[in-house]
């Protein structure tokens, strides 16, 4: 009865009858469009290149492992940097911090870091 009322409201348009129990079947072009969009969103092609990186060893204590060799570099674990200073690398259990420029060249300054109060000497 509601369908009849809606059909009489607009004289220029009549709603088509929907087969299959009131559900419209998906047309082939719409199905192709939906599948194409799903594949485009899930395809890893160009997105994989944006999430990649290349490792380049600037400095190491092992000869031949990096561009520069520095025997003062001992088990590095922390880095501090600023816009006007070289990189400060913390040498684990060595009691020093070694400094490097942006190319990995060791600087002449090696900073001694005192142990914490009550801590063991290096």
Q: List the chain domain ranges.
A: 2-50, 59-112
Q: How many Å apart are CA 27 and CA 35, to the nearest integer?
A: 12
Q: Tell me the pLDDT tens digit for each residue of 41-79.
A: 776 665 555 667 888 888 888 899 999 998 888 888 888
What tokens does 52 get?
């990649």
If one counts every other C-beta atom within 10 angstroms of the C-beta of residue 86, the result is 17
Q: Tell me the pLDDT tens digit for each residue of 78-99.
A: 888 888 888 888 888 788 888 8
Q: How many Å apart are CA 57 and CA 25, to the nearest integer?
A: 59
Between residues 120 and 28, which one has the greater pLDDT?
A: 28
């Amino acid at each position: 009865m509601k369908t009849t009322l809606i059909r009489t409201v607009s004289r220029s348009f009549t709603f088509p009858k929907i087969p299959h129990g009131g559900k419209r079947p998906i047309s082939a072009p719409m199905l192709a469009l939906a599948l194409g969009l799903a594949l485009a969103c899930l395809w890893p092609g160009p997105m994989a290149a944006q999430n990649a990186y290349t490792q380049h060893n600037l400095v190491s204590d092992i000869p031949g492992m990096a561009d520069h060799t520095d025997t003062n570099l001992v088990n590095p674990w922390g880095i501090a940097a600023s816009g006007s200073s070289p990189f400060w690398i913390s040498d684990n259990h060595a009691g020093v911090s070694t400094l490097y420029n942006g190319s990995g060249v060791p600087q002449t300054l090696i900073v001694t870091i005192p142990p914490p109060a009550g801590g063991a000497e290096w």
